[in-house]
Amino acid sequence: MSEHVFLEMSDVSMTFPGVKALDQVRLDIREGEVHALMGENGAGKSTLIKIISGVQQPDPGARILMDGEEVQFPNVHASIKHGINAIHQDLSLFPNLTVAENIYLGRSKNGKVDWKECDRIAVEALKRLEVQMDIHELLGNLSVAKQQLVAIARAISLSSRLLIMDEPTAALSFSEVRMLYEIIRKLKKENIAILFISHKLDEVFEVSDRVTVLKDGKYVGCKDIGELNESTLVQMMVGRSVTYEALNQESYAAEKVLEVRNISKEGNFKDISFTLHKGEILAFTGLVGAGRSETVKALFGLNPPDQGEILIHGQKAELKNVTQAMKHKIAFIPEDRHHEGLILNMSMEDNITLSILNQMLGKSRFISSRKRAGISGEYVNTLNIRPGQIYKMAKNFSGGNQQKIAVAKWLVTKPDILIIDEPTHGVDIASKTEIHKLLKSLAKQGMAIIMVSSEWQEVFALSDRVIVMRHGRIVHEDSTRDGDQNLMMEKAILGEVKA
């Protein structure tokens, strides 16, 4: 890594109605370094990235220097011209085009594609990454990890000096994350700098050289990773220390709320049986693609099984659709909260109270705005949703705060059984502990909770029992208090599956 700072930004501010998303922020990037951008939900990380990549324009007064020369990024093309490429979480690729076409994208002249050139560019870019891939395969047929590699190949084929990644490991399995780290190391060797957003401390310590921290839209500091440890980094982000408390010390009731008997669904999951008790938090873990989400969706009528039976409070239950599931007082908070969880063009208040509008009627039989504001405000406080503007559209909240709104939306229904898929995905460390405490207190009040989580620390800190899945089957079940953590992780990764 060279010490040469090629990108320097200062006095970067960005004002949205009612919110100063960035306030006189600065950032500098050295050639070939891996630079992590960190901060709590709503700190301004995505906004800063959008400004660097020309998607958004800062308030007047911002200074951007490339190799000491003042530049502007009025649009995405301008920033690409300066060698800056951003890979967003949705990857912005086309599933109906081939790998080669996706890498070549945007280079056709007068609407004509030079197919030889297209293949040549794709082969060369993938070779630089030392990745084997059929360039004529449709992108949509590839795993998310491979699609991400295509996005990286595309970026470096545009002669990137800075590659920006927004939570790049969010949808990757354990081995795919290792593969991405390898790619990052290769890019460093080519002197390409990486700027990435992450909420995962272990990953930041593993791959980054320097870290810039933002808080409430303000610059807190930039440090070499060697100068920091987990606790000092959290202190910079949150302004206080946050401990990851082990909450799995409570005992749950003997009363069985849910019994699942040998449910199977072709190509999804096979022979799944388990019991969930009143007040229990049961974790489903395993690698991405192990069939956990498909299994829990079956319990909410979203992916009904072909075989087996489900009992609720000892009675056989039909769970063929969401309406039936809701009648049984089951709530489901999906992992993909953007597409499945929220109505982005509605306000936070609308989203939170949507499923309980019948409880919001006032004396006049009209919906009481006082009641709606009251209940929304309650969840704003409990989940620390920032900013606490209940009339703000869901789409205008930061990613992590959108997660919290989706959580609130289902918690208001006061379900008997709560199913939550990756409860703290994209949520910062301070809010993470708040969500953990909230789930624990709901369990204490008698709610039975199933959570799917890929984060081992979360599984062991929060759940009472854990089920490990692999290739659509249960390979292990244990109590988190007595269970052997290493054995469970081994089972998830290597576990033998009975035929």
Using CB under 6 A, list all residues that contact ligand ATP: 16, 19, 21, 39, 41-47, 387, 396-401
Q: Minimum CB separation from ligand ATP for residue 254, in Å?
A: 40
Nearer CB in complex with ligand ATP: 39/301: 39
Q: Minimum CB separation from ligand ATP for residue 212, in Å?
A: 12
Q: Minimum CB separation from ligand ATP for residue 24, in Å?
A: 15
Nearer CB in complex with ligand ATP: 15/441: 15
Q: Minimum CB separation from ligand ATP for residue 233, in Å?
A: 15
Cα 328 from Cα 416, distance rounded (Å): 8
Q: Which residue's CB comes closest to ligand ATP?
A: 400
Nearer CB in complex with ligand ATP: 44/83: 44
Query: Angle at Cα 352 formed by Cα 349 and Cα 353, nearest 5°?
Result: 85
Q: Minimum CB separation from ligand ATP for residue 109, in Å?
A: 35
Q: Minimum CB separation from ligand ATP for residue 9, in Å?
A: 15
Phi and psi at residue 86, in whole multiples of 5°? -110, 135
Nearer CB in complex with ligand ATP: 233/449: 233
Nearer CB in complex with ligand ATP: 20/437: 20
Q: Minimum CB separation from ligand ATP for residue 20, in Å?
A: 8
Nearer CB in complex with ligand ATP: 43/194: 43
Nearer CB in complex with ligand ATP: 6/397: 397
Q: Minimum CB separation from ligand ATP for residue 408, in Å?
A: 15
Contact 97, 104 (CB under 8 A): no
Tell me how far apart the 2 most distant CA atoms of the chain are, in Å. Answer: 72
Q: Minimum CB separation from ligand ATP for residue 492, in Å?
A: 27
Q: Minimum CB separation from ligand ATP for residue 146, in Å?
A: 25
Q: Reading across the β-sheet that carries 315-316, which strands appear in turn?
A: 269-277, 256-265, 307-312, 315-316
Nearer CB in complex with ligand ATP: 286/400: 400
Q: What is the 3-state secondary structure (H, E, C) of the chain?
A: CCCCEEEEEEEEEEEECCEEEEEEEEEEEECCCEEEEECCCCCCHHHHHHHHCCCCCCCCCCEEEECCEECCCCCHHHHHHCCEEEECCCCCCCCCCEHHHHHHCCCCECCECCHHHHHHHHHHHHHHCCCCCCCCCEHHHCCHHHHHHHHHHHHHHCCCCEEEEECCCCCCCHHHHHHHHHHHHHHHHCCCEEEEECCCHHHHHHHCCEEEEEECCEEEEEEEHHHCCHHHHHHHHHCCCCCCCCCCCCCCCCCEEEEEEEEEECCCEEEEEEEEECCCEEEEECCCCCCHHHHHHHCCCCCCCCEEEEEECCEECCCCCHHHHHHCCEEEECCCHHHHHCCCCCEHHHHHHHHHHHHHECCCCCECHHHHHHHHHHHHHHCCCCCCCCCCEHHHCCHHHHHHHHHHHHHCCCCCEEEEECCCCCCCHHHHHHHHHHHHHHHHCCCEEEEECCCHHHHHHHCCEEEEEECCEEEEEEECCCCCHHHHHHHHHHCCCCC
Nearer CB in complex with ligand ATP: 53/398: 398
Q: Minimum CB separation from ligand ATP for residue 425, in Å?
A: 11
Nearer CB in complex with ligand ATP: 301/426: 426
Nearer CB in complex with ligand ATP: 332/397: 397
Nearer CB in complex with ligand ATP: 337/436: 337
**CB-based burial of residue 224 (10 Å sphere; 0-12 exposed, 13-18 middle, 19+ buried)?**
exposed
Q: Minimum CB separation from ligand ATP for residue 303, in Å?
A: 29
Beta bridge partners of 212: 37, 222
